[in-house]
Amino acid sequence: MLRRTTETEQADPTGLRFGIVAARYNAELADALLDACVKSLQGAREVDVVRVPGSFEVPAAVARLARTRRYDCLIALGVLLQGETKHADLIGHAVAWGLTHISITENVPVVFGIVTANNLRQARVRCLGKQYNRGREAGLTAIAMGRLWKTR
């Protein structure tokens, strides 16, 4: 059963357990996402990080973590840059569908922190920016969702 949380509770990771699956591909950007996400979760009971080769591999690792029933929320991180072909679109759709499916079937919130950008400049703004950082946003979303789902 879901319960309401206050805004203060939503920003407080105390007592929550998080699992993060982060792609290594586009390393400079992906590492920055991960660093910002982990920093936003300081004070959490547990933050486990699993690294996978690329964004396509993220859902499989998230599913494995979800099946442990150990985490209050899971976070998926990666960077997809649009190229000359539709490859990034295909991966992006597959990853989004996979993560949504895991969240629904395993009854655990999964935060979509996969940056999908048209070019490197857009990705840098979203991954390396101090004010606007998708890694930090993913962490804060995970706190809110973890609190919302927490039934202990």
Alpha helices in the chain (DSSP H): 7-10, 27-40, 58-67, 87-106, 120-128, 134-149
Determine which one of 67, 87, 93, 101 is catalytic: 87
Please name every residue paired with 48 in a beta bridge, in sequence order, or none if there are none: 19
Contact indicator for 109, 146 with CB cutoff of 8 Å? yes
Residue among 98, 30, 115, 16 at smallest CA distance from 63: 98
93 assigned to active site = no
* Cα 145 to Cα 43: distance, rounded to the nearest angstrom: 16
Contact indicator for 102, 21 with CB cutoff of 8 Å? no
What positions carry a catalytic annotation? 87
